[in-house]
Amino acid sequence: MRIGVAREIKPQEYRVALTPAGARELVQRGHEVLIEESAGAGSAFVDDAYVRAGARIVLVDEVWEASELLLKVKEPIASEYRRLRERLTLFTYLHIAADEPLTRALVESGIAAVAYETVETDDRRLPLLAPMSEVAGRLATQAGAHYLEKPLGGRGVLLGGVAGVAPGRVVVIGGGIVGYNAAVIALGMGAQVTILERSVDRMRHLEEVLSGRVSLLMSSTLQIEESVKDADVVIGAVLIPGALAPKLLTREMLREMKDGAVFCDVAIDQGGCAETSKATTHDDPVYAVEGVTHYCVANMPGAVPVTSTKALTNVTLPYVEAIAEHGLAAAVEGDAALARGVNVLEGRVTYEAVADAHGLDYTPLRDVLPLAAA
């Protein structure tokens, strides 16, 4: 199969959908790999590294026009809509339930659009979202430690403390993938860590893997109120699948927090879990409310594109290989998780939540397959 990798043109996006190592794997399996000029530059992969892996460097028109499978990281932006077409499979983060113009452009183009974020295993895991949660969780603690520094408006506390001086306190609300990873880094820095969770099963798991090194508490309004009062860093890491984040932290709770404490709301991409949260960018990541520094960057992994690119491509490559090897129709027949990733196919919306979000007709995937254009 001819597999293309487009350069991301969305502002502040430095990731790329395939590493030179991934290109090598595909070339070795007999596929042709086209990389748009400078596509890997933001992640420190020069064109030459792809050439050495057996790929060919091409211009933007060729990568879109000649590919059968096009890999991207972010959804196409408006200036790319005219490039969407039949006989092309697009594999990328799409998030189209929140983007009606793009949904319509995909439907009208006849493209096959497979979304990373809706690839879902039978036990309801989202394998192509998980690595970005790992990155964001680990970065959250790092950001918290950074903004605790006095010159940055923080309390002036060193998270790990030193011999004879107590460490800082980190409170993580939500002990899923983000929360676990935030806790691991906080422990590594020597902080005192508390995780508030709502799921008893998840707490049992955390108890096992963190072997008693953190305090695990049942999340409730009262418990949150009491825990955040003493915290130096609070990390918001809750998720209710398919819904906006619950507003667990009120302005009153923030007022009771220590002056110069840091609140890092990782759940901001689902609206945030504090009354006072509003999305920020890497250019201007923080603002203060009630004396608490709020860090609410909606695309945290974008700050560390080298790590994020590798983490993302580690998990996408097996799916890319399956599509390249068997074609989309056979690949989705053999893998229910990948089948759930198909959002738009042959002018039909095949993902129910997307159709519902925009009042469009929903067609189950099995009614569209086998692909007429394949």
Ligand X SMILES: NC(=O)c1ccc[n+]([C@@H]2O[C@H](COP(=O)([O-])OP(=O)(O)OC[C@H]3O[C@@H](n4cnc5c(N)ncnc54)[C@H](O)[C@@H]3O)[C@@H](O)[C@H]2O)c1
Binding residues vs ligand X (CB under 6 A): 132-133, 136, 173-179, 196-199, 202, 219, 237-240, 245-246, 248, 266-270, 298-301
Minimum distance from residue 195 beta carbon to ligand X (Å): 9
State the DSSP H helix or E strand holding residue 25, giving kind and residue range, or none if neither. Answer: helix 20-28
Minimum distance from residue 332 beta carbon to ligand X (Å): 24
Which residue number, 126 or 338, has a Cβ lying nearer to ligand X? Answer: 126
Q: Which residues pair with 172 in a beta bridge?
A: 195, 235
CA distance 229 to 227: 6
Minimum distance from residue 129 beta carbon to ligand X (Å): 6
Query: Which own/partner contact pairs does 220-226 have at CB distance under 8 Å and 24+ positions apart?
Result: 221/248, 223/196, 224/173, 224/196, 224/248, 224/249, 224/253, 225/253, 225/256
User: Which residues in 39-64 are b (16+ Cβ under 10 Å) and which e?
Assistant: bbebbebebebbeebbbbbbebeebb
* Torsion sign (Cα): 120, 121, 123, 128: negative
User: Shortest CA distance to 266 belongs to which of 235, 291, 288, 224?
Assistant: 235
Helix pair 130-147, 177-189: axis angle to 10 deg: 40
Which residue number, 199 or 250, has a Cβ lying nearer to ligand X? Answer: 199
Which residue number, 228 or 345, has a Cβ lying nearer to ligand X? Answer: 228
Query: If DSSP codes are grouped into helix, strand and coil, which group holds residue 242?
Result: coil
For the beta sheet containing 342-345, the strands, ordered from the edge strand earlier in sequence to the opposite edge, are 56-58, 32-36, 2-5, 69-71, 89-92, 112-115, 342-345, 348-349
State the DSSP H helix or E strand holding residue 343, giving kind and residue range, or none if neither. Answer: strand 342-345
Which residue number, 1 or 203, has a Cβ lying nearer to ligand X? Answer: 203
Minimum distance from residue 205 beta carbon to ligand X (Å): 9
Which residue number, 124 or 163, has a Cβ lying nearer to ligand X? Answer: 124
Catalytic one among 95, 205, 326, 358? 95
Which residue number, 127 or 246, has a Cβ lying nearer to ligand X? Answer: 246
Minimum distance from residue 261 beta carbon to ligand X (Å): 19
Minimum distance from residue 357 beta carbon to ligand X (Å): 17
Q: Which residues pair with 281 in a beta bridge?
A: 284
Question: What contacts 209, CB < 8 A, 6 or more positions away?
Answer: 180
Strand ranges inside 111-224, DSSP E: 112-115, 169-173, 192-197, 215-218
Which residue number, 269 or 335, has a Cβ lying nearer to ligand X? Answer: 269
Closest residue (Cβ) to ligand X? Answer: 176
Catalytic one among 232, 265, 269, 335? 269
Minimum distance from residue 363 beta carbon to ligand X (Å): 28
Which residue number, 13 or 321, has a Cβ lying nearer to ligand X? Answer: 13
Integer-rounded Cα Rg, in Å, for the chain is 22
State the DSSP H helix or E strand holding residue 57, giving kind and residue range, or none if neither. Answer: strand 56-58
Query: If DSSP codes are grouped into helix, strand and coil, which group holds residue 271?
Result: coil
Question: Is 201 annotated as catalytic?
Answer: no
Question: Is 31 annotated as catalytic?
Answer: no
Question: What contacts 318, CB < 8 A, 6 or more positions away?
Answer: none
Tell me if 167 sits within 8 A of 192, measured CB to CB.
yes
Minimum distance from residue 362 beta carbon to ligand X (Å): 24
Q: Any idea which residues carry the catalytic annotation?
A: 95, 269
